[in-house]
Structure 1
């Protein structure tokens, strides 16, 4: 797994009241949440507690949240929050910050998780004020993904750059449907070439084994000597990470995002909202549309907890709809000529 989570972010610990700090440590070390997820909890809950302090402790009507510190916020204040307080905060995020429904839903989820921790793992609070809090309604939308043609254009662009590491990473993402956190967390020992399997460590430290295709194996074969040379040049023979930075250390998720952005731009695909996570959507969609993968098989490949999460990939593309309509036996029936046409 990639190192460098919340536990080493000293500025976070210093900025948190003890109760929030304990929650963040718990989510990372006990619940196995990724550093990115813990970062998200920190940011969401810091904003929430800044609002609570400004309104309930300082009695302010106008304030700049960035100027509010919460390291001294007492647990009694946190545990004294009511459902009305949370509604007031959500209204603030809507009217003052123009947060979308998706962003507000994420904030609600963070607040509910925080108070669930307090009520179940401490003796400070018996009933969570967020227990009856509903998630904001979110408009259902189809996942954004690259078409088959766009996927081929992207891979050809990466191949033309003659960078085996970048080609291998993007090949893994677009073929296996893994999360970027799973990609950067890979170790060399996780790939079993003879068995054609790859061990992934997903959300909550849940392990799963997936099969890799020939494209992934060939990309890996081309990358291996490059990886060995990087380690040799840096005198780092014991680095377990599969994908390395130029310095010979484990590559970061942010660096993968930057690399992908560069190739998307070169392929003429920038500005369309594509990202490493969209490559995950692409892999799942192509497996479903062209590989005939059953939704339950996709669930195992993607590492989803619930089948309902995977069922979003059973959408049909506009091209499929067009083909279905065109294939109707009545599609060739021509309209009769009008009387005016007949007179002519």
Structure 2
């Protein structure tokens, strides 16, 4: 099978198209013929080992000290089940599915195996494989942070970095939960953010939301440009700061904030639960939640796709067709 592999950390050109052995499903696994995957910010960071400040050594220990331990990137996928293991009962050959592989990657390939009990769901028939592949990275991250932040109906939420994969997902899920949502992004993306349901939008170049006198029950930072120290004055008493992206000093500082103030910092890697992926499938089927796709590339143009994501200006998701 064709696959994109990387054997060294670095810029996009470390990615290479090669022929690899096709995997075989174990008894509790399904074999998926991948139709689409994505280039998430997480994929780009792992490829370049470009991680938030202070996490370099920990990342090398997890991913491979001198070279990547797992050669195939790609966390999201959609496709068709090509074979099932002897003990699989929930899925059948020919079923269209989508899912998320947060730890082991492996989706930049024509085939991949996946545990039946993992974050896997039937693809809604109303959406394409490309749309399905882009549901999970932003959706599961948004849902986990909103859950841990205990967002309540009627609360005010501000999202810094509202036009990326996590931001566009958070707008939709927060509106579904009944929140008032303010999105912060560039001028070019204001209409996109508004079209997804944001009640208010702010051009970060024209207005500093931390100085406009507005306060919020929750502030989410998906871009790493609005740490707690900057936004604490915009949080109401009992407010929660959702730190999707931050360095080690900010993560350690969260403990102190939680101990000494009436604010709460929610940080750490988002959990990807099978039931969350199934929920995204239900919301997508109902038309309540959709993926936002910026650009689509074929597998053979993976280097170009990663280079575009590295620029840091993508709207929603970048999709790869396989």
Relative to the length of structure 2, the TM-score reads: 0.29
Structure having the larger proportion of residues in strand: 2
- Taking structure 1 as the reference length, the TM-score comes to 0.27
From the CA coordinates, give the structure whose radius of gyration is larger.
1
Larger helix fraction of residues = 1
